Amino acid sequence: MSEDGFHVHGPHDHAIEHAQQGGHGGHDNGGMINQIAMFTAIIATVGALFSYMGGATQANAGLFKNNAAIKKTEASNQWNFYQAKSTKQALAELARDLTAQADKPTYQAKVERYDKEKGEIKLAAEKLENEATEWDHQSDEQMHQHHRWAQATTVLQVAIALAAIALLSKKKWLEYAMFGAGGIGVVVGGLAALHI
């Protein structure tokens, strides 16, 4: 203010008064902006973690499916070995039935040996099949969990997009929608973590 009572505002004085009033019309836009910025930073961080977990579970699912395929191949090899022993046993039985009485005990011993070996091979093949089934089951569980992580990440990305729109439009209902979407994303991420 000058000595004669005349007061001149500088440009910075107007900006300071405007900031003290909270922006246009006295509304607290600065608080909304800070709140949305903080929310976006937190949700982006959580979303990055969810995305990482989604990728990890997808990789595990592929690995487990590969292990299942290996076990299925090993089981198939055992069943082929079982079939070969069955063929040898059948030939030994035929030879036993067609040979002279003196040679029958030799072929009978082979029949019994092949029968015993088939039993061991069958147990090994069944064990491998069970392992393959278990690996398939684990792969399916990992894929389900992967889908949950992907859903959570997608909802968090929507929340971040709503945050940007809320900042630009200054609409309070968009801010509420942003918080709602963020909350849903975190809940879905929790379901993924709990394998639900």
**pLDDT at position 21:** 52
CB 146 within 8 A of CB 57: yes
| Separation CA 96–CA 50 (nearest Å) | 68
| Separation CA 67–CA 1 (nearest Å) | 83
Amino acid at 68: A
Is the full-model pTM beyond 0.75?
A: no
CB 167 within 8 A of CB 33: yes
CB 50 within 8 A of CB 149: yes
Residue 143 has pLDDT above 80, yes or no: yes
**pLDDT at position 106:** 92
Residue 18 has pLDDT above 50, yes or no: no
* 84 Cα distance to chain centroid: 42
pLDDT band of 15, cuts 50, 70, 90 = very low
pLDDT band of 28, cuts 50, 70, 90 = low
Question: pLDDT by residue (tens digit) across 148-161?
Answer: 999 999 999 999 99
pLDDT band of 17, cuts 50, 70, 90 = low
Please give the average per-residue pLDDT across 85-105, as a whole number.
92
107 — phi, psi (to 5°)? -75, -35
pLDDT band of 23, cuts 50, 70, 90 = very low
* Nearest CA-CA partner of 196 in 119, 141, 131: 141
